[in-house]
Amino acid sequence: MHIVRIMTLVVIAVFLTGCGDNSQGSAALRDIESYIEQAPDSALTALRSIDAELLCSRHLRARHALLHSIALDKNYIDLTTDSIISPAVSYFSRKGSPDDRFRTLYYLGRIRQNAGQSEEAMELFVKASALEDKVTDMAAIARCWSVMGLLYSRLYDFEKAVWSYQKSSGLFLEAGNINSYVNDCLKTADAWWCLGEYDKSLIYIKTVESKIDKVSVNTVSRYFSERLSTECKLLSSDDIFNTIEDYISSVPSSYIDWLGVSDSYYTIGEYDHSLNALKKYCEINAGYDRNAGYHAMASRIYEALEEYEESSYHNSQYIHLTDSLDMVILSEDTKFIQERYEKDMSILQSKNKNLAYAIATMILVVFLTVSILYAIRSNRNRKALHNLFVTAAGEKEALENMMRSMQLIDFDMLALISERITLLNDIVLHHRLPGSKNARIIEKKLQALLNDTKEYLSTVGIFYSIRNSSFVSYLKSKGLLTWEIGYCCLYIMGYNAKEISGIMNNSQVYKISSEIRRKLGYNDGKLRFESIMKSLYDKHKP
């Protein structure tokens, strides 16, 4: 028996010696890892050529899977399933260094992002960022914060985007990656621009001026593009004109954002220069005639030049293209909104699913209506505002389809849906015609809905009373009025006090919050109002 035990130990020792970290497979993976950042294409070829027999342990198979996923990502091959990375996920979730766990979480998040699962991706990035104090790869942490900033921007949560990009740019600078540092500083500036904080945007643009000679030509072009969009909000026509000239003289023509240059010339009233820049855009971009932004810009220029037939043609092309692309843009730019509500949609299991879907969609319409008005008031960029209008068009179509298919629905709810369809139809109609006059018409249409604050908040309260009767019943039991319940529900929809004050044009937000605190018994002021609402909502979920 003793001899058998000794022989068993010898066999195990031989196996471990032949398949440990000093094996041929381990050495090959270490070699590939040493150059995967600089030569990802060579790394990918090498990883694919490794003999599977060399990967004779779970650790080696996990490391190979992780490096394979990294190489694919760096070669712009976007995975949408975890079939390749799964060995790394199962192994490094319990073993391995903090760097291994971090990279596994990050690249699994990238896969979820590629698959359009933005919420799951964000959760993985947040988990990865929690390990940053233990991770040695500074550039990897910076990339994680940078992609989180991108996701926050897609959600139009620009304050969090600023915070994420500030983190990533600082880490890129610390890691010595100047090009990525400058890029993320410019992304920070863009996020400040979207928030209407043009002075802060310009500050971030100026911080990178001294490093422009150390970055790629693409990054230089982006620097001038961001600088122009900000200067158009703050500086004189002469200053903007000089910046345009610097841009054109500093960057090769094929790298210049000629559409942005055209818009900048248009802003300062140089319509002939604006048209010439637009023609440059056409020369460089073969598919310019399928770009809705090009036709919108051309329509504005020709109108300013009093060439109305040309203006009308480009406007009709703009309408045609935006109509055909509506659902594509909708699917790309509203995923977070959809995901935000999907997890709370247990009401959709009820018997009357048509009614439930109507309620869910109506809540989303309220959210969109408020978002559009807030975007106009905050002077967000035209692209973000346009995407909100496209979303409104999609929701209008969804509501109309529901109206046609429903049989059992409350009369008051039917009236509300009909009213919202009319509003959305007006919004979409006026958005088809670009120009500041139409923007004012749109804002008036939206403001008509919000003029009576208590009526609007009562509508929100009605939606939530059906969607989550337990939560609303609790608030009613505490003596809250219907409009006060609607006010509380805005916090559940993700708004904060500052945003609600801007949306409702009401300086009494804190007074309203204090009165509701009193009714709910939270007079000590230790908890933020948002935290109180979310805590109560979680306790009374359907």
**What is the per-residue pLDDT for 285?**
86
If one compares 526 and 178, the residue with the highest pLDDT of the two is: 178
Q: Which CA distances in Å does 71 have to 28, 58, 423?
A: 15, 20, 50
Instruction: Compute the distance between CA of residue 430 and CA of residue 438 in angstroms, rounded to an integer.
Output: 6
Structure tokens at 365: 């319409």
**What is the per-residue pLDDT for 278?**
94
**What is the per-residue pLDDT for 407?**
42
Residue with tokens 């230790």: 526
pLDDT in tens, 78-101: 889 988 999 999 999 888 889 999
Judge whether residue 343 has pLDDT over 50.
Answer: no
Torsion sign (Cα): 253, 259, 263, 264: negative
Of 174-188, 341-355, 448-462, the least confident: 341-355
Percent of the chain with pLDDT over 90: 35
Tell me the Ramachandran region of residue 306: left when phi exceeds 0, alpha when psi lies from -120 to 50, beta otherwise. Answer: left
Structure tokens at 255: 């790298």
The radius of gyration of the chain's CA atoms, rounded to the nearest angstrom, is 28
pLDDT in tens, 490-504: 788 777 777 677 656
Residue with tokens 């040695």: 136
Residue with tokens 């195990």: 12
Whether the Cβ atoms of residue 173 and residue 139 lie closer than 8 Å to each other = no
Closest by alpha carbon to 128, among 162, 153, 92?
92
**78 in helix, strand or coil?**
coil
pLDDT interval class at 355 (50, 70, 90): very low
Of 111-120, 172-181, 209-218, 243-252, the least confident: 111-120
Closest by alpha carbon to 541, among 494, 472, 457, 460?
472
Of 197-201, 219-223, 422-426, the least confident: 422-426
C-alpha atoms less than 13 angstroms from C-alpha of 504 in its C-beta half-sphere: 25
Tell me whether residue 238 is exposed, middle or buried, using C-beta atoms within 10 angstroms of its C-beta: 0 to 12, 13 to 18, 19 or more: exposed
Residue with tokens 């050529």: 49
Structure tokens at 320: 């045609």
Closest by alpha carbon to 285, among 244, 263, 253?
253
Closest by alpha carbon to 261, among 285, 238, 227?
227
pLDDT in tens, 414-465: 555 555 555 555 555 555 444 545 555 555 655 555 555 666 676 666 666 6
If one compares 376 and 481, the residue with the highest pLDDT of the two is: 481
If one compares 424 and 320, the residue with the highest pLDDT of the two is: 320
pLDDT in tens, 273-310: 999 999 999 999 888 888 888 998 999 999 999 998 99
Own/partner pairs for 222-226, CB < 8 Å, 24+ apart?
Answer: 222/183, 222/186, 223/182, 223/186, 224/250, 224/251, 224/256, 224/257, 225/257, 225/260, 226/186, 226/189, 226/190, 226/193, 226/201
Contacts of 148 (CB under 8 A, 6+ apart): 122, 125, 126, 129, 164
Give the pLDDT mean for 504-532. 78
Give the pLDDT mean for 496-513. 70
Cα 356 to chain centroid distance, Å, stands at 27
Judge whether residue 542 has pLDDT over 50.
Answer: yes
Cα 218 to chain centroid distance, Å, stands at 22
For residue 437, the tally of other CB atoms under 10 A from its CB is 10
**What is the per-residue pLDDT for 406?**
46
Whether the Cβ atoms of residue 106 and residue 124 lie closer than 8 Å to each other = yes
**What is the per-residue pLDDT for 458?**
67
Write the DSSP assignment of 444-482 as a string of letters: HHHHHHHSSHHHHHHHHHHHHHHH-HHHHHHHHHTT--H
Instruction: Compute the distance between CA of residue 159 and CA of residue 392 in angstroms, rounded to an integer.
Output: 23
Contacts of 318 (CB under 8 A, 6+ apart): 292, 295, 296, 299, 432, 434
Query: What's the one-letter identity of residue 231?
Result: E
Q: Which CA distances in Å does 403 have to 347, 406, 519?
A: 19, 6, 38
**What is the per-residue pLDDT for 277?**
95
Terminal CA-CA length for the chain: 64
**pTM for the structure as a whole:** 0.58
Q: Mean of the per-residue pLDDT values for the chain?
A: 77
Cα 43 to chain centroid distance, Å, stands at 31
If one compares 325 and 207, the residue with the highest pLDDT of the two is: 207
